[in-house]
Amino acid sequence: MASFPSLRVARAALVCGIASTALAGCASTGGGAPQLPSATFVQNQEGPGEEYIIGPLDELQIFVWRNPELGGKVQVRPDGRITTPLITDMPAVGKTPTMLQQDIKLQLSQYITDPIVSVIVTTFNSTFSQQVRVVGATEKPASIPFRANMTVLDAMIAVGGLGEYAAGNKARLVRFDKGSGKQQEFGLRLNDLIKRGDIKANVRLQPGDVIIIPESMF
């Protein structure tokens, strides 16, 4: 039979083990929001992404190879349609540039053989689902049209950086996950990115993202 001192030692070891496990669990979960991976590179493409959805009042440049008179600059009307030479009242809202390009090509095929068409969005006036919004302690809160390969650094430059009392490392990125239908939150390290030049704190953005920057308590 074990002596009383031995039992006391065993009980103390068990308590210490439980406490260590609890502390490890707390350390692993943490109180902050999850972090997004760093944006490791930026491509040269500056236009909207391939999944950009054309919205009302967007301005488009339409090119028809070897038939420049059939293209030109057009603005999407409030009713969501465009009109070009030989094409009247074509729906544009809700389509990507590639989809609209194919629709124009199909219509022009009635008049010319194998038309080659390109559609470029030159001015963005799209819905909030195609924008990135920055609110809170920044120089000028704004909604920014999303562009391909856009990062948090691009967004912060567009709004003039952090405000004087911004708690940049407590900022949050709110993103709607279409797959799950739920809203997600991620932590941002804006102080590290802007004031310390830590490029690892730069992350990619997606259309519809909202960046919320709180003010410091003191």
Query: CA-to-CA distance for 158 and 173, rounded, in angstroms?
Result: 16
pLDDT higher than 80, residue 34: yes
pLDDT higher than 80, residue 46: no
CB atoms inside a 10 Å sphere around CB 86:
15
Lowest mean pLDDT among 28-37, 85-94, 175-184, 198-207: 28-37
- 159: buried, middle or exposed (CB in 10 Å: 19+, 13-18, 0-12)? buried
pLDDT higher than 60, residue 24: no
Question: What's the pLDDT at 180?
Answer: 86
* CA-closest candidate to residue 202, choices 148, 155, 160: 155
At residue 47 the predicted structure's pLDDT band, cuts being 50, 70 and 90, is: low
- 202: buried, middle or exposed (CB in 10 Å: 19+, 13-18, 0-12)? buried
Residue 188 CA, chain-centre distance (Å), reads: 13
At residue 28 the predicted structure's pLDDT band, cuts being 50, 70 and 90, is: very low
